[in-house]
Amino acid sequence: MASLYFSKSYSQNADLGSLLVVIPPVNSKRMLLVELSQKLQFPDYFGFNWDALYDLLCECYGIKEKNITIFHESVKDIPVTDLLKYLDVIQATCEWWKGYEDHKFFFVFNSNEKDHIMNLVNNNKYLFGIVIHSL
């Protein structure tokens, strides 16, 4: 089961994890993957696709901190098909890590986008294991 968190700002989430990654507003899959790659310092072989993102989130390449908070300032302009796939990657990543204690992810989205994301989650049969939290 994956948890999505919603908050107005990332400063409210500093206590959730040792590593705080802030993703600025993005409007495409490519922009999101580039930001994640840069902020999480993915290796040069990162393929900038969903499978590669999942692999590196599960590998936590070079991340020593146990808790990792990824705050998304805005994802509302990402095409729906790409945002759904990203939510699927989040769900799969959280499922993978629940069997281990090495790392825990907190995926936080801007609370202004809660309705949009909840609508996507609630209307997609593949995103059945996502729990919504407000901070």
Please count the CA atoms within 13 angstroms of the CA of 18 that sit on its side-chain side. Answer: 8
Cα–Cα distance between 34 and 37 in angstroms, integer?
A: 5
CATH of residue 118's domain is 3.30.370.10
What does the chain come to in residues? 135
Long-range contacts of 51-55 (CB under 8 A, 24+ apart): 53/89, 54/89, 54/92, 54/93
With bands split at pLDDT 50, 70 and 90, how would you rate the model's confidence at 129? low
Determine the structural domain holding residue 35 and report its residue range. 2-134
Work out how many domains the chain is built from and give that number: 1
pLDDT tens profile 69-117: 899 999 999 999 999 999 999 999 988 888 777 888 889 999 999 999 9
The residue whose two tokens read 């609508």 is 119
Look at the pTM and tell me if it is higher than 0.75: yes
User: Can you state the percent helix, strand and coil of the chain, rounding each to 5?
Assistant: 45, 20, 35
Residue 16 in this model has a pLDDT that exceeds 60: no
